[in-house]
Amino acid sequence: MAHLKEATLSRRGFCLCCIGGATFAATGLWPTPRQAFAEARGLVSLIKDSAAVSPIVTHKLRNNISVLEGSGGNIVVLTGPDGKVLIDAGIGVSRPQITEALAALGGDPITHLVNTHWHFDHADGNEWLHSAGAKIIAQENTRKHLSEVQRVEDWDYNFLPSSAGALPTEVFADEHHLKLNGASIDLKYYGPAHTDSDISVRFAEADVIHLADTYWNGIYPFIDYSTGGSIDGTIAASEANLAATTDQTIIISGHGKPVSNRAELQEFRDMLVTIRDNVAKLKQQGKSRDETVAAKPTAAFDAKWGQFVIDPAFFTRLVYEGV
Ligand SMILES: [Zn+2]
């Protein structure tokens, strides 16, 4: 965590997925007073405070589709006469900045919200967006996880059930199709990947797809084993994503630089496969988790991918858990 600076946080969007209690320990250093304070009062509070002051940056894409960066996971917005359709809700305390960013996209009311999965940094804004007029749509496991106490081991945190207004009211198992603002919007379940609730959201005519947290652009991903995620599921999702896109597709990541392309996605998939194989080999040789971390199986990738909060040691531990 010592390398975490406010500038990095606001540029990337401070995300809960990125934070593990282990990250503090992994530095092997005494925390600064600020870090010690953050740890004592809880990481979720720290993340909320950071989101509260982070600016929202809007990237306009095509066919009235934009992406908002700066409140947890990257948020996609489609505008038009059927109202604003949001893909992910960000963190609730960002409401003022998100409201302002949405207003700058036009006067249509907020009518629909899709959650790509249950994580806090994608669904915490559900309550206010519902109160502002959004009907909430998600895969059925997202509603299940939001309805119950949910423990995430790698964050050492228990999430309490969401309020009734924050729960998705329209859920599906495998696929769901919407026609809004002239756009065909295809929601597709991955099966277990980053969690067991992830979906992709494709805008067919615009050839824009939001891959949510199955894709972290240029940074090591978090994988949530507590709710059904795994390294192999993440790789399988990457391969499905490659099969679903072309060089013309605009690809939106869950975290990292929001606007991406198939070449960068291919690089992400190849990084995952190489590190998975490196870690599996060490585990098969009987190496413990700490010995595997010490062997630095991610070394060739760290300069590019290891510069954010899922640092090389934390990512190695996540992969080790699943091989
Ligand atoms: Zn996530």
- Compute how many other C-beta atoms are within 10 angstroms of the C-beta atom of residue 171: 17
- Compute how many other C-beta atoms are within 10 angstroms of the C-beta atom of residue 31: 16
Q: Which two tokens stand for residue 285?
A: 């040789």
Distance CA 204, CA 183 (A): 7
195 CA → ligand 1 middle, Å: 7
194 CA → ligand 1 middle, Å: 7
3-state secondary structure 205-225: CCCEEECHHHCEECCCCCCCH
3-state secondary structure 7-60: HHHHHHCCCHHHCCHHHHHHCCCCCCHHHHHHHHHCHHHHHHHHHHHCCCEEEE
286 CA → ligand 1 middle, Å: 31
Which amino acid makes up residue 183?
A: A
69 CA → ligand 1 middle, Å: 15
Tell me the CA distances in angstroms from 228 to 107, 253, 254, one per residue in order. Answer: 39, 20, 18
293 CA → ligand 1 middle, Å: 23
294 CA → ligand 1 middle, Å: 27
202 CA → ligand 1 middle, Å: 18
Residue ranges covered by each domain of the chain: 2-322
Residue 256 CB partners (closer than 8 Å, separation 6+) = 12, 216, 217, 218, 219, 308
Please calculate the CA angle 313-317-319 and round it to the nearest 5 degrees.
115
73 CA → ligand 1 middle, Å: 8
Residue-wise pLDDT for 253-272, tens only, equals 999 999 999 999 999 999 99
Residue in the block written with tokens 């953050």: 38
231 CA → ligand 1 middle, Å: 14
Residue 140 CB partners (closer than 8 Å, separation 6+) = 171, 172, 173
285 CA → ligand 1 middle, Å: 31
Helices (H), 77-153: 95-103, 120-123, 126-131, 140-147
Q: What are the pLDDT tens digits along the chain (323 aa)?
A: 333 333 334 333 444 444 433 333 333 333 344 454 445 456 677 777 888 889 999 999 999 999 999 999 999 999 999 999 999 999 999 999 999 999 999 999 999 999 999 999 999 999 999 999 999 999 999 999 999 998 888 777 888 899 999 999 999 999 999 999 999 999 999 999 999 999 999 999 999 999 999 999 999 999 999 999 999 999 999 999 999 999 999 999 999 999 999 999 999 999 999 999 999 999 999 999 999 999 999 999 999 999 887 899 999 999 999 99
119 CA → ligand 1 middle, Å: 5
81 CA → ligand 1 middle, Å: 31
198 CA → ligand 1 middle, Å: 9
213 CA → ligand 1 middle, Å: 5
Architecture of domain 2-322: 4-Layer Sandwich (3.60)
Decide if 182 contacts 208 (C-beta within 8 A).
no
Q: Which two tokens stand for residue 32?
A: 């600064």
Residue-wise pLDDT for 124-164, tens only, equals 999 999 999 999 999 999 999 999 998 888 777 888 899 99
At 181 the pLDDT is 98
163 CA → ligand 1 middle, Å: 20
60 CA → ligand 1 middle, Å: 23
Can you give the pTM of this predicted structure?
Answer: 0.87
